[in-house]
Amino acid sequence: MKKGDICLIILLAIITILVFTIYEFQEKSEVVSTAKVFVDGKEILVFDLNQEEKIQEHNFKFSDGKLATLKTQKGKVNQMRIEDCPQQICCKLTGWISSESEQIVCLPNKILVKLS
């Protein structure tokens, strides 16, 4: 290896460490206070996430009668359970979300859960 190769590797390592450090700092500085549920692009529910520490379940019905459940805890939201969802991907694969950059999406039911 030449001297220039070693300098390039060190420079790339420093840039990588800086990017991850900045990303982690920004994630932790976000204060999430509400969860908004959108169905077909329209906001239908807003949950306050500054409540008590214990897990709360919120049940709600859609206009077509489907029942859904959303779990919330201080500053975070867990997967949604929907009564009539074909593959249950939004239920099984989504864990707790706690950042504005994360979302829960259910395409068959046109549901989006965003944090703000």
Q: 18 with 62, same domain?
A: no
Residues 6, 40 within the same domain = no
Q: Based on the fold, state whether residues 51 and 10 are members of the same structural domain.
A: no
Question: Which phi and psi angles does 73 have, rounded to 5°?
Answer: -145, 165
> Do 10 and 63 sit in the same domain of this protein?
no
Domain that holds residue 10: 1-30
Q: Token pair for residue 84?
A: 């009539």
Query: What's the full length of the chain, in residues?
Result: 116
| 54-106 pLDDT per residue, tens | 888 888 777 777 788 888 888 888 877 776 677 777 777 778 888 888 888 88
- Measured CA to CA, the distance from residue 32 to residue 50 in angstroms comes to 8
Assess whether 20 and 6 both reside in one domain: yes
HEC letters along 32-67: CCEEEEEECCEEEEEEECCCCCCCEEEEEECCCCCE
Residues 51 and 17 in one domain: no
Is the per-residue pLDDT at 14 higher than 90? yes
Strands 56-61 and 42-48: unpaired
Are residues 50 and 2 part of one domain?
no
Written as six digits, the tokens of 91 are: 């239920």
For the whole model, what pTM was predicted?
Answer: 0.68
- Report the CATH number at residue 104: 2.60.320.10
Q: What's the total number of domains in the chain?
A: 2
Question: Using an 8 Å Cβ cutoff, are 33 and 60 in contact?
Answer: no
State the Cα–Cα distance between residues 74 and 33, nearest whole angstrom.
8
